[in-house]
C-alpha cells in the first residue's frame, strides 16, 4: 500500500471529546470517524485490525468445533415477546416500527433468534450438542456511550450459542470455550484473566468474564483477586471474609438519643464516640418504581448489581430526600427499618448486619438515633455489600487485591432460561420433549481492538502487537525525489510484499519528520528508513515496541522482518 493512496487522515491534535487513550489514539491516528454519539465508521486501518481479530476468533472457534452462521440484525418483536424480554429489556433495546406498523428492533444480542432457529431444525437428541456463532454488529442504546470503541452504541461482537441435552455436557463445552477464549486473546497479543461475574440481563447462573487488566482509568470493572490462590471476581460478584472488628456498640440499654444535624456515618460515629462498625446504616432505594430499604453495617458500602439481583429489579436508584419523608415517613440521615410498613417497603439486611450488638440505628425522626439496639430474631440476610481491598479471600483467606479491568469477552451457562419460555425443545432418548440446555459466549471484537491500544501505547502513539497490526512494516524513503532512495525503497517494498509481509511505503513528498510521526502514531511494528546511508548500502531498521534502531543492509532488513514477524 502506498501511503499517498491510503485512505487515512491523521490529526495533529487529540480530539477534545475523548477521555480514554484508545479513543484519542483511534481518532488521531485515523482509525475511526465519529458519525454520532457511540457510532463510528471503521476506516481502512481499523477494518484491517478488526478483520485480523475476527479471523483469529474464527479460526479458534472453528477449531473448537463451533460453526459460523449469520443472523438478522433487524428483528421482529415476536421472538422477544416469546422470551419475555420485549417488556423487560430496557431502553438499550432500540425499538422501531416497519411500514406495516409491526414492532421491530435492532439486535442488541441474539439469544432469541438463535433459540427459535435451532428449535426449528433440531428435534432430536441425536442432533446435539451444537455450538453456532456469528461475528456481527450489535446495537445497544447505551445510557453512557463513552471511551470510543470501548463502550459504543453500535459495536462488533462475536456471539456463540451452544445447545445440550444435559448440564454435564454444557459444563464440558463451557470448559472448551474457556480454553478457546484464552487462546484467542493470547493470539491477539493480550493477556486476560477469567473472573467470576454476575450474569446480568442475559441470565443463567455460572459465568466468567475475560478481563484485560489495566491501570488506566477506563477499565469499567473492578476486579478483586488473590495472589495466593486463583480466586478472582468482578466486584459485582466478589465476596470476602471480613477482618474481625468490634461490632458491639457497648451501650447497656436501648434508648433514643438526640443527634442534632448529624447525618453522615462518620459524623455520627464521632458524635457518639463509637466505631462506624457499630452503626447499622439504612440506605433507601427506588427499584422498578417501588421503595426498598437496605440495612448494612456502617463501614460497608452497597454493591448495586448485587442489590438489583437481590431485589430481582431491572432498575434501581437511590431515594431522593423528599421521597424518604413521603414513602418512608422518615427523615434522610435518620432512617430505621423499625416501624416501616413491610407490606409497602421491601426491607433487606446485608450479611454484614449479622452479629451486630447494641448498635446505633436511626430513629425515623429528624435529629434522633437509637443506641443499644439489637436485631429481632428470624431476620434473613443477603449479600449486597461491596468488597474492599484488604478483606480476605473467600477461598484461602489471604488479603484480596483490586485492579481495573476491561471486559473483552464472557461465557455463560444459561441453562433453560430461553428454551423454556420459548418452548424450544428436542425429543430425548426416552421419547420425552425437553428444553435445550444452553450456553452463550461473547467477545467484543471492536472493544478488543481498543483494549489492545489501552494496553499497548506510548507518548508517540499506538504500539500494535504484530498479530493484529494493520500493517507490519512502514518503509520511509527520506527524500522521494532522490532517485537511489526511491528505487531501493520500491525494490524493498516489492520484495517484502512478495514474501507476504504487509507493507506500507510512505511515498508522500513530505518531510521525514512528518512521516516518522505518522509511523509512530499509527503504530507499525517495524519502520525501515531509506536515507542517505543507502549510498553505503545501509537502511535504518526500527522496532516500534522497544524503539531500537540499527543500520543494516537491505537483505538483512528483509531477514529481520521475517524473523520478527514469524
Ligand atoms: P458490559 O458489562 O461491558 O456492558 P455486557 O455484559 O453487556 O458487557 P455482553 O452482552 O455479554 O456484554 O456482550 C459480550 C461482549 O460484547 C462483552 O464482553 C464486551 O466485550 C462486548 N460489549 C458489550 N457491550 C459493548 C459496547 N457497548 N461496546 C463495545 N463492546 C461491547
Ligand atoms: Mg452491557
411 C-beta closer than 6 A to ligand 1 = no
Mean pLDDT rounded to a whole number for the chain: 95
Question: Measured in angstroms, how far is the CA atom of residue 407 from the centroid of ligand 1?
Answer: 7
**The three cell numbers locating residue 416:** 433453560
Beta strands (DSSP E) in 226-269 are 232-234, 255-258
In this prediction, residue 566 has a pLDDT band, given cuts at 50, 70 and 90, of: confident
Residue nearest to atom 27 of ligand 1 (CA): 151
Which residues partner with 104 through β-bridges? 76, 96
204 C-beta closer than 6 A to ligand 1 = no
What is the structure's pLDDT at 256?
97
**pLDDT, tens digit (0-9, with 9 covering 90-100), for 479-536:** 999 999 999 999 999 999 999 999 999 999 999 999 999 999 999 999 999 999 999 9
152 C-beta closer than 6 A to ligand 1 = yes
Q: Comparing C-alpha atoms, which of 41, 21, 39 is closest to residue 31? A: 41
3-class secondary structure per residue, 482-514: CHHHHHHHHHHHHHHHHCCCCEEECCCCCCHHH
Decide if 122 contacts 129 (C-beta within 8 A). no
> Would you say residue 340 has pLDDT above 60?
yes
In which residue are the cell numbers 421491530 written? 104
Q: Which residues contact 114 (CB under 8 A, 6 or more apart)?
A: 71, 132, 161
407 C-beta closer than 6 A to ligand 1 = yes
Say how many CA atoms lie within 13 Å of 327 toward its Cβ.
22
Ligand nearest to the backbone CA of 447: 1
173 C-beta closer than 6 A to ligand 1 = no
Residue nearest to atom 22 of ligand 1 (CA): 444
H/E stretch holding 520? helix 512-522
Residue percentage of the chain with pLDDT more than 70: 98
What is the structure's pLDDT at 296?
97
Nearest atom (ligand 1) to Cα of 210: 18
> Would you say residue 202 has pLDDT above 60?
no
> Would you say residue 216 has pLDDT above 90?
no
Topology of domain 255-382, CATH: YbaK protein (3.90.960)
**pLDDT, tens digit (0-9, with 9 covering 90-100), for 419-442:** 999 999 999 999 999 999 999 999
Backbone angles phi, psi at 404, to 5 degrees: -95, 150
158 C-beta closer than 6 A to ligand 1 = no
What is the structure's pLDDT at 221?
86
> Would you say residue 204 has pLDDT above 80?
no
**pLDDT, tens digit (0-9, with 9 covering 90-100), for 401-422:** 999 999 999 999 999 999 999 9
Please give the CATH architecture assigned to the domain spanning 44-239+402-454: 2-Layer Sandwich (3.30)
What is the structure's pLDDT at 200?
58
What is the structure's pLDDT at 88?
85
Buried b / exposed e across 345-361, counting CB within 10 Å, b at 16+? bbbbbbbbbeebebbbb
What is the structure's pLDDT at 90?
84
Q: Ligand 1 pocket test: which of 442, 446, 448, 454 has the largest number of ligand atoms within 8 Å of its C-beta? A: 442
Ligand nearest to the backbone CA of 412: 1
Residue nearest to atom 21 of ligand 1 (CA): 444
Q: Ligand 1 pocket test: which of 38, 157, 305, 405 has the largest number of ligand atoms within 8 Å of its C-beta? A: 157
Q: Which residues contact 282 (CB under 8 A, 6 or more apart)?
A: 293, 294, 295, 335, 336, 337, 361, 362
In which residue are the cell numbers 410498613 written? 341
**pLDDT, tens digit (0-9, with 9 covering 90-100), for 6-51:** 999 999 999 998 999 999 999 999 999 999 999 999 999 999 999 9
237 C-beta closer than 6 A to ligand 1 = no
> Would you say residue 203 has pLDDT above 70?
no
What is the structure's pLDDT at 217?
65
Q: Comparing C-alpha atoms, which of 165, 58, 75 is closest to residue 111? A: 75
Three-class secondary structure of residue 346 per DSSP = strand
Q: How far apart are CA 468 and CA 55, in angstroms?
A: 10
Nearest atom (ligand 1) to Cα of 440: 11
| Boundaries of every domain in the chain | 44-239+402-454, 255-382, 473-565
185-187-189 Cα angle (round to 5):
75
pTM over 0.85: yes
Q: Comparing C-alpha atoms, which of 104, 43, 42 is closest to residue 73? A: 104
Please identify, in words, the CATH class of the domain defined by 473-565: alpha beta
> Would you say residue 387 has pLDDT above 70?
yes
What is the structure's pLDDT at 206?
87
Amino acid at each position: 500500500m502506498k501511503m499517498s493512496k491510503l485512505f487515512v487522515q491523521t490529526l495533529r491534535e487529540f480530539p477534545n471529546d475523548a477521555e480514554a487513550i484508545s479513543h484519542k489514539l483511534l481518532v488521531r491516528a485515523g482509525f475511526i470517524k465519529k458519525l454520532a454519539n457511540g457510532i463510528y465508521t471503521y476506516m481502512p486501518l481499523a477494518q484491517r485490525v478488526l478483520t485480523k481479530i475476527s479471523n483469529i476468533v474464527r479460526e479458534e472457534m472453528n477449531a473448537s468445533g463451533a460453526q459460523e452462521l449469520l443472523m438478522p440484525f433487524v428483528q421482529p418483536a415476536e421472538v422477544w415477546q416469546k422470551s419475555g424480554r420485549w417488556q423487560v429489556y430496557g431502553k438499550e433495546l432500540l425499538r422501531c416500527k416497519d411500514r406495516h406498523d409491526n414492532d421491530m428492533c435492532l439486535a442488541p444480542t441474539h439469544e432469541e433468534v438463535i433459540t427459535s432457529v435451532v428449535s426449528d431444525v433440531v428435534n432430536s437428541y441425536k442432533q446435539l450438542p451444537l455450538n453456532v456463532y456469528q461475528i456481527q454488529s450489535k446495537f445497544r442504546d447505551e445510557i453512557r456511550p463513552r471511551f470510543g470503541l470501548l463502550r459504543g452504541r453500535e459495536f462488533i461482537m462475536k456471539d456463540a450459542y451452544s445447545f445440550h441435552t444435559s448440564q454435564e455436557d454444557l459444563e464440558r463445552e463451557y470448559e472448551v470455550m474457556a480454553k478457546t477464549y484464552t487462546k484467542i486473546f493470547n493470539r491477539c497479543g493480550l493477556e486476560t484473566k477469567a473472573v467470576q461475574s454476575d450474569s446480568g440481563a442475559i441470565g443463567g447462573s455460572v459465568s466468567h468474564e475475560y478481563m484485560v487488566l489495566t491501570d488506566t482509568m477506563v477499565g469499567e470493572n473492578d476486579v478483586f483477586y488473590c495472589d495466593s490462590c486463583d480466586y478472582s471476581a468482578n466486584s459485582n460478584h466478589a465476596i470476602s471474609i471480613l477482618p474481625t472488628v468490634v461490632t458491639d456498640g457497648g451501650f447497656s440499654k436501648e434508648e433514643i438519643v438526640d443527634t442534632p444535624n448529624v447525618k453522615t456515618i462518620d459524623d455520627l460515629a464521632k458524635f457518639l464516640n463509637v466505631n462506624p462498625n457499630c452503626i447499622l446504616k439504612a440506605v433507601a432505594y427506588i427499584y422498578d418504581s417501588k421503595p426498598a430499604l437496605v440495612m448494612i453495617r456502617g463501614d460497608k458500602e452497597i454493591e448495586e448489581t448485587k442489590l438489583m439481583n437481590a431485589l430481582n429489579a431491572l432498575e434501581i436508584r437511590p431515594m431522593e430526600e423528599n421521597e424518604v419523608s413521603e414513602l418512608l415517613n422518615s427523615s434522610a440521615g435518620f432512617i430505621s427499618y423499625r416501624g416501616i410498613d413491610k407490606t409497602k417497603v421491601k426491607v433487606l439486611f446485608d450479611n454484614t448486619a449479622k452479629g451486630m450488638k447494641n448498635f446505633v440505628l436511626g430513629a425515623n425522626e429528624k435529629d434522633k438515633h437509637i443506641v443499644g439496639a439489637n436485631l429481632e430474631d428470624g431476620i434473613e440476610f443477603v449479600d449486597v455489600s461491596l468488597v474492599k481491598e484488604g478483606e480476605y479471600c473467600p477461598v484461602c483467606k489471604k488479603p484480596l487485591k483490586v485492579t481495573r479491568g476491561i471486559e473483552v469477552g464472557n461465557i455463560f451457562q444459561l441453562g433453560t432460561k430461553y428454551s423454556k419460555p420459548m418452548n424450544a425443545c428436542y425429543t430425548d432418548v426416552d421419547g420425552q420433549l425437553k428444553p435445550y440446555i444452553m450456553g452463550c459466549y461473547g467477545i467484543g471484537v471492536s472493544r478488543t481492538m481498543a483494549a489492545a491500544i489501552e494496553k499497548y501505547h506510548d507518548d508517540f502513539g499506538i504500539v500494535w502487537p504484530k498479530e493484529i497490526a494493520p500493517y507490519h512494516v512502514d518503509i520511509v524513503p527520506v527524500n522521494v525525489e532522490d532517485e537511489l532512495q526511491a528505487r531501493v525503497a520500491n525494490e524493498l517494498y516489492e520484495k517484502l510484499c512478495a514474501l507476504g509481509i504487509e507493507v506500507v511505503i510512505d511515498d508522500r513528498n513530505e518531510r521525514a519528520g512528518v512521516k516518522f510521526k505518522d509511523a509512530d502514531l499509527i503504530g507499525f511494528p517495524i519502520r525501515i528508513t531509506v536515507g542517505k546511508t543507502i549510498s553505503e548500502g545501509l537502511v535504518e531498521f526500527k522496532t516500534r515496541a522497544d524503539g531500537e534502531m540499527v543500520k543494516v543492509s537491505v537483505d538483512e532488513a528483509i531477514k529481520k522482518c521475517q524473523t520478527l514477524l514469524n
